[in-house]
Amino acid sequence: MLLEVDGLTKSYAGPEGPVEVLRGVDLALDAGRTLALTGDSGSGKSTLLHLIAGLDTAEAGRIRLDGAEVTALDDAGCAALRRGRVGIVFQQFNLIPSLDVAANIAFQARLAGRHEPERDARLAGALGLTPHLAKYPEQLSGGQQQRVAIARTLAARPKLVLADEPTGNLDETTSGAVLEEMLALVAETGAALLMVTHSEALAARMERRLHLSRGRLA
């Protein structure tokens, strides 16, 4: 199993004491599989993705990813895991302002030691970024920046893609292209895809769907 989550619990401080957002979440995802994660706004979907990526810590429970115990790693260990094996497409694009689009797309693949210029070029073409390769992030629209962030993640060929509403700012045609590229990565490399989405059409393209409600997945 590529990803196993057992009994994950997470609370945040609220005005009247801790509020439990996740109350014992269990999840298993195998390599080469796709899973849609749905749930109302504020149900804890982003929180779960952050915990899996090792960007935040849980109070209880266990996350195992590709043989590593994420919940037992320190910050440096989590960073190394993300660099090598996990691709993150979150709502903050985190592009590097001093690098042009081409260098932003190549950045993570270079860090992971897996840079292939032909792959970058193909992704840029598929996501409509070829005319923008020499531009800087500040010269792009929100949707263009989002596509650069997606291309950067897919260029690095991670074993697990964690995507939080990856097509939120995109029109239907571009959303379709993004989904096709994510599914192509799954088909080519056996990556697993865990996608948070409010879109019925996107969720329907995933093999499985889980709904987060009252702190639990069903």
Ligand X SMILES: Nc1ncnc2c1ncn2[C@@H]1O[C@H](COP(=O)(O)OP(=O)(O)OP(=O)(O)O)[C@@H](O)[C@H]1O
Does the footprint of ligand X cover residue 38 (CB under 6 A)? no
Q: Say if residues 212 and 52 touch (Cβ distance below 8 Å).
A: no
Distance CA 2, CA 85 (A): 11
Binding segment for ligand X (CB under 6 A), chosen from 41-49, 74-82, 132-140, 146-154, is 41-49
Minimum distance from residue 12 beta carbon to ligand X (Å)? 3
Q: Which is nearer to ligand X, 52 or 101 (CB)?
A: 52
Q: Measured from the CB of residue 102, what is the shortest distance to ligand X in angstroms?
A: 31
Looking at beta carbons only, is 42 or 97 nearer to ligand X?
A: 42
Does 46 contact ligand X by CB under 6 A?
yes
26 and 9 in contact (C-beta within 8 Å)? no
Angle at 53 between CA 135 and CA 45, to 5 degrees: 95
Minimal distance, residue 121 CB to ligand X, in Å: 33
Pairing of strands 34-39, 208-213: parallel
Rank residues 39 and 137 by Cβ distance to ligand X and give the closer one.
39
| Residue 41 contacts ligand X per CB under 6 A | yes
Q: Are strands 192-196 and 208-213 parallel, antiparallel or unpaired?
A: unpaired
16 versus 138: smaller Cβ distance to ligand X: 16
Shortest Cβ 11–ligand X spacing (Å) = 9
- Determine, following the binding rule CB under 6 A, whether residue 21 of this chain makes contact with ligand X: yes
C-beta of 48: minimal distance to ligand X in Å? Answer: 7
**Of the candidate residues 12, 59, 69, 111, the single one contacting ligand X (CB under 6 A):** 12
At its nearest, how many Å lie between ligand X and the CB of residue 44? Answer: 4
Binding residue for ligand X (CB under 6 A) from 8, 33, 36, 39? 39
Q: Using the minimum distance from each CB to ligand X, give the nearer residue, 40 or 69.
A: 40
State the residues that interact with ligand X by CB under 6 A.
12, 21, 39, 41-47
